[in-house]
């Protein structure tokens, strides 16, 4: 199945159910065709009906960045952090943006927040300490951000290497199994257990957000939730089999 057919199929499903989260898949297919403006508009419209759908907000922010819309990129990241200030991946995105723009104090502010959430983050720790000499030239009347960080976050480098290679393959497989059985709350607990050990674990973060969204969907009126889930699954199954057996 080519990209145009997939776009048409997803668009049809969205027309049938305008509240469907499939708008993110549609935006992804449009992006593959370099139709960035259409992808952005699709995400904006979809988020009006699904404002808490975090993966879509992150996708929108990334599209803004690709389209050199820096102001919109930062605003979208800030919207996410206003909803959930513990989003490490989003916090890193905005910290990296300020770092690349040379806005050191703004970058440090966000890297400090990252270290509070995940004390073993090498990049945040290194950035703060590498800029400590520059900050020391400022007024000594009150401690600088970097001086505070040097006191609060002096971690043993050995700990970094000990925690960076943990895969949690067994736990991730368990999440998939529980999800396939629609035991979403149990799957969420497994994802949370991974994040207690490694708060920046990307796969666990992604699974947590997906499961939170599904649970929220289920907690809506029962009939509506079942209908949405059924339509969502049907669309995914059709996409899979059409691409799998297309000659």
Q: Tell me: domain 1-84, CATH 3.20.20.70, correct?
A: no
Could you give phi then psi for residue 201, rounded to 5 degrees?
A: -65, 110
Give per-residue burial for 53-85: e unless 16+ CB within 10 Å, then b: bbebbbbbbbbbbeeebeebbbebbeebbeeee
Q: Where are the domains of the chain?
A: 1-84, 88-165, 167-247
Predicted confidence at residue 163, as pLDDT, reads 40
Predicted confidence at residue 134, as pLDDT, reads 60
How far, rounded to the nearest angstrom, does the alpha carbon of residue 7 sit from its chain's CA centroid? 23
CA atoms within 13 A on the CB side of 110: 23
Predicted confidence at residue 144, as pLDDT, reads 44
Predicted confidence at residue 238, as pLDDT, reads 62
Each residue's pLDDT, cut to its tens digit, for the chain (247 residues) gives: 677 888 888 899 999 988 888 999 999 999 999 999 999 999 999 999 999 899 999 999 999 999 999 999 999 999 999 988 888 889 999 999 999 999 999 999 999 888 888 877 888 888 888 876 565 545 444 444 444 443 344 444 433 433 443 457 778 888 888 887 778 888 888 888 888 778 778 888 888 888 888 787 777 655 555 666 667 767 666 665 555 555 4
Rounded Cα distance between 44 and 26, Å, is 12
């Amino acid at each position: 199945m080519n990209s145009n057919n997939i776009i048409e199929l997803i668009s049809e499903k969205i027309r049938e159910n305008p509240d469907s989260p499939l708008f993110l898949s549609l935006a992804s297919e449009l992006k593959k065709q370099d139709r960035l403006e259409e992808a952005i508009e699709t995400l904006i419209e979809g988020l009006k009906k699904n404002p808490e759908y975090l993966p879509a907000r992150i996708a929108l922010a990334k599209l803004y960045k690709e389209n050199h819309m820096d102001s919109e990129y930062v605003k979208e990241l800030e919207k996410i952090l206003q909803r959930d200030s513990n989003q490490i991946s989003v916090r890193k995105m905005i910290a990296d943006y300020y770092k690349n723009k040379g806005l050191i104090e703004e970058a440090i502010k966000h890297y400090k927040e990252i270290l509070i959430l995940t004390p073993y983050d090498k990049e945040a720790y290194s950035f703060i300490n590498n800029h400590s000499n520059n900050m020391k030239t400022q007024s000594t009347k009150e401690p600088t951000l970097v001086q505070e960080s040097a006191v609060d976050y002096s971690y043993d480098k050995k700990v970094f290497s000990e925690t960076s290679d943990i895969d949690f393959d067994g736990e991730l497989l368990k999440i998939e199994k529980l999800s396939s059985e629609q035991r979403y709350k149990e799957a969420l607990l497994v994802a949370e257990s991974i994040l207690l050990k490694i708060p920046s674990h990307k796969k666990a973060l992604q699974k947590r957000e997906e499961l939170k969204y599904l649970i929220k969907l289920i907690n809506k009126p029962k009939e509506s939730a079942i209908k949405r889930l059924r339509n969502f699954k049907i669309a995914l199954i059709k996409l899979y089999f059409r691409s799998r057996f297309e000659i």
